């Protein structure tokens, strides 16, 4: 990590965890992927006004060793600043997470959430 983020337990060890690898458990939001998609599709007003919009993007968040989301940011922009802002605002409401684990120990982690937009509908990948 190159920046100091308030609330990180150990800024020298922040991981991007791949749950498919042995000994790694990704941080998890209390909402399922489907519930997050439904929330986004319900709340993003930009897409209601622009139903033919297509695009893709990515949101990143740091989840500390206690499961608290600390810093949300856009990692892959869509073609609309307004849409990016609305998406980021909604993602910031996702406050309940479990911390990631590496070899049985809870760790600070960076989570990347990718999504696609086609015909005005968001699909979280």
DSSP state of 52: T
Q: How far apart are CA 89 and CA 79, in angstroms?
A: 17
The CA-based angle 9-75-106, given to 5 degrees, is 25
Q: What is the pTM of this model?
A: 0.90
According to the model, what pLDDT value does residue 21 have? 79
- Summarize the confidence of residues 20-31 as an average pLDDT: 90
- Summarize the confidence of residues 22-42 as an average pLDDT: 95
3-state secondary structure (DSSP) of residue 29: strand
pLDDT at 19 over 90: no
- Summarize the confidence of residues 75-85 as an average pLDDT: 92
Q: Identify the band that residue 46 occupies on the pLDDT scale cut at 50, 70 and 90.
A: very high
Q: What would the pLDDT profile of 58-76 be if each residue is shown by its tens digit? A: 999 999 999 999 999 999 8
Q: Domain segments of the chain: what residues?
A: 26-124
Q: Identify the band that residue 28 occupies on the pLDDT scale cut at 50, 70 and 90.
A: very high
- Summarize the confidence of residues 88-117 as an average pLDDT: 96
According to the model, what pLDDT value does residue 67 have? 97
According to the model, what pLDDT value does residue 109 have? 96
Determine whether domain 26-124 maps to CATH 2.20.28.
no
């Amino acid at each position: 990590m190159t920046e100091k983020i308030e609330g990180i337990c150990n800024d020298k060890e922040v991981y991007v965890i791949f749950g498919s690898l042995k000994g790694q458990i990704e941080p998890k939001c209390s909402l399922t992927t489907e519930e997050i998609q439904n929330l986004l599709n319900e709340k993003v007003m930009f897409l209601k006004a622009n139903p033919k919009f297509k695009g893709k993007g990515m949101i990143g968040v740091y989840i500390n060793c206690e499961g608290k989301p600390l810093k949300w940011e856009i990692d892959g922009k869509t073609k609309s600043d307004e849409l990016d802002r609305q998406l980021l605002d909604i993602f910031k409401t996702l406050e309940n997470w479990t911390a990631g684990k590496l070899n049985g120990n809870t760790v600070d982690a960076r989570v990347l959430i990718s999504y696609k937009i086609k015909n005005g509908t968001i699909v979280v990948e």
